[in-house]
Every structure is written in C-alpha cells, then in structure tokens.
Amino acid sequence: MSAEDKLKELGLTLPDVPTPVATYVSFKQVGDIVYLSGQGPKRADGTYPTGKVGKDVTIEEAYEHAKQTGLGLLAAMKKATGSLDKVEVIKLLGMVNGAPDFADQPKVINGCSDLFVAVLGERGRHARSAVGMGSLPNNMTVEIEVIIKVLP
C-alpha cells in the first residue's frame, strides 16, 4: 500500500507546507539527504496550541500536537521528494515546551514517531532525540525537525 493510500485509510490529510517566517527554507537537500526545518503543530487558521506541557497541556494533548506536527513534516517530505514512497526517515529531533519538572518528552514525541511508522512502515522508523525546552517560538507546545533519505 502506498503512503498516500495509508494516509487515506487513516483518515488523514496533509496540510500545506508552511511558508518560512524568517531567513530559512522549509527543507535543504544535500545529495540524497534532506534536512527539514523545524515545525510546530500549526492549526488550519494559522495559530498554534500553546503552553507548558505538564502544566497547561496534558501529555495526551501534546501527543496529538506532535502528531499534527508530523503531518506537516510529511507534507514537507512530499514537497521535497515528490512522493512519500521515496522517503526514509533517518533522524528526528523533538523539542517539548515543558514545565520545569516535566520529564515525559518521549511520550509526547511518540505522536510524531507513531504517525511516521503508521504511514511509512519500516521506512518511518528512525533514530530520535526528545528533549525539553524552556520555551519555543510562539509559545507552541512542540517543535520537531527531521532528516530524511530520498530513495531511488
């Protein structure tokens, strides 16, 4: 089953790739490796879920935010490669805007990781770091960046 068919089966649609708001690009390709800029859980109206995970936002809500961020990253992957069937996820860095004592970053970033595996299968499995941050742009709950390999 193609990645596009898997998305449809899951009832998911890819959002538009966000336009960079500063001096950077959405992705940069070097050989067969593509570096995707960090994204957050942007809503259709352009706003972001905000707050500190573990204080203002639950782990379950933040998991969904990471999943939404993953959809945006899949959209960028598709734009960069032309097809999600040509994508292998290599590395993911997940950043969580957590309360000072919050220590469940991996549970939050699983929202994105689980999505990648659900859509891409084994090509979605990746090395990963999930870290806490004192703050993130726009006070959003999560930001995730990814490195992918373009398959022939």
Report the chain (152 residues): mean pLDDT per 10 consecutive residues. Answer: 95 91 94 98 93 98 98 98 98 98 98 98 98 96 98 96
Give dist(CA 99, CA 115) in Å, integer: 25
The predicted model scores a pTM of 0.96
Q: What is the pLDDT of residue 19?
A: 84
* Residue 15 near residue 64, CB atoms below 8 Å: no
pLDDT value at position 68?
97
Could you count the other beta carbons within 10 Å of the beta carbon of residue 20? 10
Q: What is the pLDDT of residue 132?
A: 98
Q: What is the pLDDT of residue 18?
A: 82
Residue 10's pLDDT is 96
Distances in whole angstroms, Cα of residue 127 to Cα of each of 9, 90, 94, 98: 26, 6, 11, 22
Rounded CA-CA distance 99/132 in Å is: 9
Torsion of CA 112, 133, 61, 88, to 10 degrees: 0
Residue 39's CB is within 10 A of a number of other CB atoms, namely 25
- Length of the chain equals 152
Tell me what pLDDT residue 21 has: 81
As a whole number of angstroms, the distance between CA 136 and CA 76 comes to 20
